Amino acid sequence: MQLDDVPSLDVKLSDISIGTSAAPSLLPPYYFKDGDNEFHLVDGGIAAGSPSLVAVSEVVQELNEKISHFIPVNPNKPIKVVLLSLGCGRGEPALRLDARDARFLSFNQWVPVLAIDLAAAAADINEYHLASVFPDLPSSHNYYLRVEEYNLDSTIGGSWDQDLLQL
């Protein structure tokens, strides 16, 4: 949606999909070139763990600006937004710590705990915000489907080629 401001972002959807799927230790970083522009994509989840929320925000901005080339808007009819979100799986749930034990953890022991919990929290808050845009009501004109694997194999993480086959 930002192509008017940043035309260099007008790249192939396949490159965007592969690049935003990069995840250190699971899926390899992705490099591609479009004209004179180089893209070095290492992890799609750092800025937006679920790009769905970013996509919905872009659509809402375009609708609010009533940009005619985006979607013809009839003020007398509700606008239908349909979103399909494909997840890459969720592994083990966030770590649970006993507060009596956690008070003795060093900084280095907290780092992996925080990394896991922050990622889980980001995913949960994305789902919360998307639920407000896509209420589960029969009268809603918006539709949202999230496809996610909750029994992800925790042994994935050895080699990128093997990991892709296992996924």
In three-state form (DSSP H/G/I as H, E/B as E, the rest C), the secondary structure along 95-137 is: CCCCHHHHCCCCHHHHHHHHHHHHHHHHHHHHHHHHHHHCCCC
Which tokens belong to 111?
């780092």
CA–CA gap between residue 3 and residue 84 (Å, rounded): 22
Whether residue 88 contacts residue 146, with contact meaning beta carbons closer than 8 Å, is answered with no
98 annotated active-site: no
Backbone phi, then psi, for 163, in 5-degree steps?
-60, -40
Angle between helices 51-64 and 107-133 (to 10 degrees): 40
- Closest to 130 (Cα-Cα) out of 51, 76, 69: 51
Beta-strand runs (E) in the chain:
30-34, 37-41, 82-86, 143-147
Catalytic residue, chosen from 43, 98, 117, 163, is: 43
Provide the annotated active-site residues.
43
